[in-house]
Structure 1
Amino acid sequence: MALGWHTGVTDRDVLLHTLPMFHCNGWGMPYAVTGMGGRHVVLRKVDGEEILRRIEDEQVTLMCGAPAVVAAVLAAAESRVSEGRPVPMAARNGQSPTRAVRIVVAGA
């Protein structure tokens, strides 16, 4: 629970699992979210477009990701922008984003 308090996790958080369970954040953060009463969303595989879809559909507020995961999400977001599709968390025309997702990046 100390990790939950340290990272500011609350019962309103929704964690999107994007790291293998053997990774330190992939192993510790699920305990923190569970201990603080948050909700979990699990992926079958890491895919940038699927991550963006889950962020929208499940109202994700927290995820941990290796740099490769973050790169996949950014590539999917760039693809959406070029197609004129909305991107969750994106700020447009200098405005603040409507909501935020905290991302813990491994090795950063």
Structure 2
Amino acid sequence: MLTATLSRASLHAQALPEVVVLGHAGKHTGVLRQLHLTPAQVARINTLIDENKALHKQRLTRRPDETEHARRQAEEADFETKIQAVLSPEQRDKYQELRGLKPSRPLPEMRVPGQ
């Protein structure tokens, strides 16, 4: 079973273009692959992801206190802001739409019957 999993993973890695090295991006991977990033954007985003991973590792070394949840939320918001800063306006709109941060189309106006 482990062999099958490893061979599937290596096949998947071989099928990807060289430029897309976002395999370690976690929840962002699928979304970022759909944005047609330039090699420079991929490099910058990979750096941001590596920095974010380092923050996560630091969290494991310290004992959580009452401010930990707020600190994690602030770090995630900062990470999202940095990722979006790398993107073009069109890519940013698509990223927000794909991540569920913005509706894909305007919501219809609600009307109350009889008014």
TM > 0.5: no
Give the TM-score band, short-chain normalised: under 0.3
> TM-score, structure 1 length as denominator?
0.24
- Structure showing greater Rg: 2
Higher strand fraction: Structure 1 or Structure 2? 1
Higher helix fraction: Structure 1 or Structure 2? 2
